[in-house]
Amino acid sequence: MPRTSLAVASVPAAGAGDREFAFSDEDFRDLAAIAHRQTGIVLADSKRQLVYSRLCRRLRHLGLSDFAEYRRRLADDPGESEAFINAISTNLTKFFREAHHFEHFRTEVAEPLLRGAGGRRRFRVWSAGCSTGEEPYSIAIVLRHAMRVGKNPDAHHDARVLATDIDTDVLARGAGGEYPADSFSEVPRPYRQAFGLDNTGDEPVTMDASLRELITFGQLNLIERWPMRGPFDVIFCRNVMIYFDAPTKATLISRFIDILAPGGFLYIGHSESLLGSHPGLKLIGRTIYRRDA
């Protein structure tokens, strides 16, 4: 939905006469309504050209002649909804993006909970809107490193990271775990050295098996029913909610609170804030919240 999976950026407008396919006001309003109904994304009028350019590829692929025909296709073919959502989603992310979150996660969460002599029985993190996987792998790097250098590195740690996104294309890339060698410049050097991410040359790098085994990737629409019960010790949902309207955002925050363990942490994006009152959730740092114990 670090995204971040549902971020939608503006592009310069083009004149109607330059367009390959006719794209009316009705076409845009209908497609924006479908996007909001299915995903919670609010597509302002400023996103009109982006919607057009992204969906032109679908029209060409399907051999359609105009957007009215594409709208009929969406109505008649449930399978096209997935391609539609994937097409309008923009995924802007990188390893250790918003580094202060990972520093807090390391010092206040991972190390205290995982470095005990006997380890911890259960530890769960949710990357909600995981995009192409850089965020959950960053989480896994911090977790695995804390396990390796703890007081008892041989202790059993029942630690897992759930990585979800609405976009199936980016999930497949994340599950594959392969990234360009130049993707790791923001990863702190001790982690790069520990997990073979330093001096990698020009070839793509496949993430270490010890990291991949911590993560489960799965498709999830944040505004629909969640199949998991939790509780989660930590939730990362960053740069996703800025594309939702206020009621959707408030509902989502309440659901996060319900599925967070007492004392658990919620990390949100640098440009996001929580509107209204959310009892039981306290701001403790820059875009870092904690559920009351």
- DSSP letter assigned to residue 199: S
236, two tokens: 């990362």
Contact 85, 167 (CB under 8 A): yes
CA 161, 149, 288, 183 dihedral sign is: negative
Tell me the backbone φ, ψ of residue 269, rounded to 5 degrees.
-75, 160
| 293 contacts: CB under 8 Å, gap ≥ 6 | 262, 263
Contact 160, 124 (CB under 8 A): yes
Active-site residues: which are they?
54, 165
Q: Given the DSSP bridges, would you call strands 281-285 and 260-268 parallel, antiparallel or unpaired?
A: unpaired
- Cα distances (Å, whole numbers) of residue 11 to 30, 41, 49, 207: 20, 17, 7, 33
CA dist., res. 235 & res. 286, Å (int)? 15
CA dist., res. 286 & res. 50, Å (int)? 31
- What is the number of other CB atoms lying within 10 angstroms of the CB of residue 147? 23
Contacts 24+ apart (CB under 8 A), 148-155: 148/194, 149/115, 150/111, 150/114, 150/115, 150/116, 150/119, 151/115, 151/116, 151/117, 152/116, 152/117, 152/118, 152/119, 155/116, 155/117, 155/118, 155/119
Q: Given the DSSP bridges, would you call strands 215-219 and 159-165 parallel, antiparallel or unpaired?
A: parallel
Contact 107, 21 (CB under 8 A): no
